[in-house]
Structure 1
Amino acid sequence: MTDKLIVEKRGNIALLTMNNPPANTWTEESLKALKALVEELNADRDIYSLVITGQGEKFFSAGADLNLFADGDRSVARDMARYFGEAFETLSQFRGVSIAAINGFAMGGGLEVALACDIRIAEEQSQMALPEAKVGLLPCAGGTQ
C-alpha cells in the first residue's frame, strides 16, 4: 500500500503506525491507504481491534501536509477534504474496537483521526488542537462534529 503506514498484526490486534516523518502528516496516498487498510481489516475476522499511533516521540500526527495547499489551488483543498472524509469515515466504521494511542502532538487531521477512533488514550505530554482556521481551512474530517 504505502510506506507511510506500517501495519503489524499481533494476534487479534492490528497496530497501525503513521510513518511520515517528521510530523506524520497525511497525504492523498496515505489517506487512500488508510481507507483500504481498514476495509481489509474489516474483512479479516481474526482482527478484533486496531491501535493507531505515530512514529517517533514528538508527533502522533500534525494532520495534513500543508505544503499541499501552498499554491492556493482550491481543487487540491476540495480533493483532500474528500480523501480525509472518506478515510476517517471508514475508520469510524471499523467493525472492531479502534484505539488512538496519542503519543505527541495531534493537530488538525491528526486529532481528527483520533476522533474517528472509539477510544483515545493520550500520553501526558500530548497536545491536541484544530488549528485549521489559522491557515484559512475548516476541520473537514470530523473535527466540527
Structure 2
Amino acid sequence: MSQTSWVSYRVKERIATITLNRPDALNAMNRDVLQQLAGCLDQAKADGDADAVVITAVGDKVFSAGADIKFLNRASALQVRELAEMATTVTHKIENLGKVVIAAINGHALGGGLEIAEACMLRVAASGALLGHPEVKIGAVAGFGGTTRLPRLIGKGRAADMLLTGRLVTAEEALSMGLVNRVVPFTRLMDETHALLQDILSQSPQAVKLTWEALHRGLDLPIDASAQLGADYFGLAASTEDFRIGTSAFINKTQASFIGK
C-alpha cells in the first residue's frame, strides 16, 4: 500500500471489507480519504462478488477521529463546506448502496468518524470504544450528517445531549441508547460482525432489501404514508419466488433455501 492509499478494499466469502488506514492521523478524514472511501463504496456497489459490506479501520484504538482538524484550521469557510459536502456524498452512498453495510467500530469513533458509522445499517462496537460528537468543543457543527442521523437513531433529546455538550459515551452506553447494535470484545469484533452479516444474508435478499427501503424511506414520511409504503413492499415481496419458498417452508416445517428472486 502506498503512502497515500488510506482506504483499502478486499472481498472474502462474499463480504467486502473497507478499511480506513491512516493511523498516524487517527484515521482522520481529509479530501483524499473521502475520495478513496467514495471510490471503495462505488466498487462495492458494482462488485458482483460482494453481497455485503463492512466498514472498519486498522488497529484497536481509533475507528476515526473525524475530520482532519489541521486541515480545518487552515481552510477557508468554502473549503470546509466543500469537505462536508464530500462527506455527505459518502454517507449518502453508504445508505443507498443497495447492500447491507455494517460498521465494525474497532475503537474511538468521533465526529465525522461516528457520522460514517451512523450512515451504516448496523453498528458493532468494540467494548473499549468511545463514541461522540465533540464538534462544539472546537467551535464546529456535526456537519457530515450527525445532526440529521443521530436524532433518528437515538431520539432528539439524547442527540441534543451529545451534540450540544460534545460529551463522549462508552460503547455500553451507546448500546443502551440504541446508537450501536452490539458491543463485543475487540478480539471478537470481526467474527461477531461477520456472524451478524451471515444471519442477515441467510434471509431472502429481496425481503432484506425491501425491508431496509421501507425503514429508510418510511422514517421521514407521515405515519399513514409510511404504513402504506410497508404494505406496498409487502405486496412486492409476495411477487418473488423467495416469498413462495419461505411460506412453503413454514407450512412444511422445513428450512427455506432462498434463491434471491
Instruction: Verify same fold: TM over 0.5.
Output: yes
Work out which of the residue numbers 10, 31, 44 in structure 1 matches 2:34.
31
Query: Which residue of 2 is the match for residue 80 of structure 1?
Result: 83
Which 4+ stretches in 1 moved above 4 angstroms? none
Q: CA RMSD in A?
A: 1.5
Tell me if structure 2 keeps the 8 A contact 1:68–1:76.
Answer: no
Once the 2 structures are TM-superposed, how far is the Cα of residue 135 of structure 1 from its aligned partner?
Answer: 1.2
Aligned partner letter, 1:140? G
Query: Which residue of 2 is the match for residue 125 of structure 1?
Result: 128
Query: Which residue of 1 is the match for residue 51 of structure 2?
Result: 48
Query: Which residue of 2 is the match for residue 134 of structure 1?
Result: 137
Query: Which residue of 1 is the match for residue 14 of structure 2?
Result: 12
Greater displacement, 63-72 / 119-128: 63-72
Once the 2 structures are TM-superposed, how far is the Cα of residue 3 of structure 1 from its aligned partner?
Answer: 1.1
Give structure 1 stretches of 5+ with no counterpart: none
Give structure 2 stretches of 5+ with no counterpart: 149-261
Give the Cα–Cα distance (whole angstroms) in 2 for the partners of residues 71 and 102 of structure 1: 29
Aligned positions of 1:53-64 closer than 5 A: 53-64=56-67
Aligned partner letter, 1:105? H
Aligned partner letter, 2:118? L
Give the Cα–Cα distance (whole angstroms) in 2 for the partners of residues 112 and 45 of structure 1: 27
Aligned residues: 145
Larger Rg: 2
Once the 2 structures are TM-superposed, how far is the Cα of residue 109 of structure 1 from its aligned partner?
Answer: 0.6
Tell me if structure 1 keeps the 8 A contact 2:66–2:113.
Answer: yes
Give the Cα–Cα distance (whole angstroms) in 2 for the partners of residues 102 and 115 of structure 1: 11
Secondary structure, aligned partner of 2:147: coil
Tell me if structure 2 keeps the 8 A contact 1:92–1:116.
Answer: yes
Q: Which structure has the higher relative contact order (CA within 8 Å, separation 6+)?
A: 1
Once the 2 structures are TM-superposed, how far is the Cα of residue 72 of structure 1 from its aligned partner?
Answer: 5.2
**Larger proportion of strand:** 1
Query: Which residue of 1 is the match for residue 191 of structure 2?
Result: none
Once the 2 structures are TM-superposed, how far is the Cα of residue 36 of structure 1 from its aligned partner?
Answer: 2.1
Query: Which residue of 1 is the match for residue 168 of structure 2?
Result: none
State TM-score, norm by structure 1.
Answer: 0.94
